[in-house]
Amino acid sequence: MALGDIGYTESDLRGMVRKWVSADRVPKRVQVKDTSDFFRVDYDDVVMLGGVPYFVRNNEREGRFGLEDEPKFWVKRAIDLLTGETKVLKWVFREHFEARIGSLVFECVRSPQKEARILELVRGRKDFMQGTTERDSAGHPLRILDYIRGRTLSQITPMLGSDHEDFFYNHFPIVLDEYIGIVEAIRFLHQLGEKHGDIRRDHLIKDETTGRYRWIDYDFNYRHGESRFAYDLFGLGNILVFITGRGDVTTNRTLADSPGILDRLSSDDVNIVFHNRVANLKKVYPYIPESLNRVLMHFSAGAQVYYETTEELLEDLGEAREELERR
């Protein structure tokens, strides 16, 4: 791309870069790259989006379930050279694939237009990642997201308290309130007919500036069956079990830490999908109130009824919250 086309000279851009990064990070040459192909956009390049120059930094990474972080080449951190704000640029990366949970296979898609649509719906909300959408040079919707400084729920929760009992009595009520807020945010989406699509604990970042969790990454969609939001609710259930257990309480860990407890568990007590995770946490931590454990049991292999809406879940959580307060 010719620099003259964008209204800035290379010297202008280097001057702007100098303003926001330390001297040793200012590149000798600044290249303005076309935005249509994320593979051609590298560290230290500049891309123009909506008339704004962005100075590109690293690819974002995503770790899952203890695996090494995977680079996401279509997601790059960048600095808005006009304001100095850190942004996350998310290029169009359409994926159509079959997801598997055990023997169950279902159709999924990564859809940039879905995320763009939700960004509009959640504008100004403190419980969702914020951003705008600009067209890249090929006309595809490229999302410019505010960078959220903070840690994920999966990083924060296991660090609270000295042990589970200390956590449960001294931190859990606040954690549960936060969780209720998290579910209310998803209720907002569902009421508008939208799914989050990829609900999991590392898609929640506690924003350091607000002290509140924000949902991130709304570009997944799944082909739902009879129950449009059941898969989202499954994700919410997993998070609830995770926070209540102060981490995943697995059968392996239980066997190692307290074999006597494992003997008391039946096949109904484990997670309905992940059979190595305990859902009936009251059998492990007897001080968990009955009303809260009843909610957990909706996500267990022994469940006879399932939540279909966030409303149903919130109603039961309200009861659990009240019981916690009475203690």
Partner 1 sequence: MDTKNSGQPKDKHFLIAVDESESSKRAVLYVADIVGGFPGFALTLLSIIPEPEEDFFDSEEEQTAWTREKLEAANRLLENYRQVLIQAGFTPEKVRIRSCVGEEKSFAEAILDTRCDLSCCTVVVGRHHKSKTEEFLFGSTSTKLIREAKNCAVWVIE
By CB under 8 A, name the binding residues for partner 1: 94, 96, 101-104, 106-107, 109, 111, 113-114, 193, 221, 223-228, 230-231, 234, 272-273, 301, 303, 306, 308
Q: Angle at the Cα of 133 (from 206 to 86), degrees rounded to 5? A: 45
Q: Which long-range contacts (CB under 8 A, 24 or more apart) does 1-4 make?
A: 1/32, 1/33, 1/34, 1/48, 3/32
> What minimum distance in Å lies between the beta carbon of 232 and partner 1?
10
> What minimum distance in Å lies between the beta carbon of 109 and partner 1?
5
> What minimum distance in Å lies between the beta carbon of 251 and partner 1?
17
CB closer to partner 1 out of 4 and 193 = 193
CB closer to partner 1 out of 272 and 317 = 272
> What minimum distance in Å lies between the beta carbon of 37 and partner 1?
18
CB closer to partner 1 out of 93 and 147 = 93
Q: Which letter does DSSP use for residue 193 in this model?
A: T
> What minimum distance in Å lies between the beta carbon of 289 and partner 1?
24
CB closer to partner 1 out of 219 and 248 = 219
Residue 231 backbone zone (phi > 0: left; psi -120 to 50: alpha; other: beta): alpha
How far from the centroid of its chain's Cα atoms is residue 190's Cα? 16
**Strand arrangement, sheet containing 220-222:** 95-101, 104-110, 220-222
* Cβ atoms of 93 and 81 closer than 8 Å: no
Pairwise CA distance, residues 108 & 165, whole Å: 39
Pairwise CA distance, residues 97 & 219, whole Å: 13
Number of neighbouring beta carbons within 10 Å of residue 228: 15
CB closer to partner 1 out of 10 and 95 = 95
CB closer to partner 1 out of 150 and 302 = 302
Tokens in use for 236?
């919410």
Q: How far is CA 129 from CA 116, 215, 267, in A?
A: 12, 6, 38
> What minimum distance in Å lies between the beta carbon of 301 and partner 1?
7
> What minimum distance in Å lies between the beta carbon of 159 and partner 1?
31
CB closer to partner 1 out of 30 and 199 = 199
Residue 53 backbone zone (phi > 0: left; psi -120 to 50: alpha; other: beta): beta
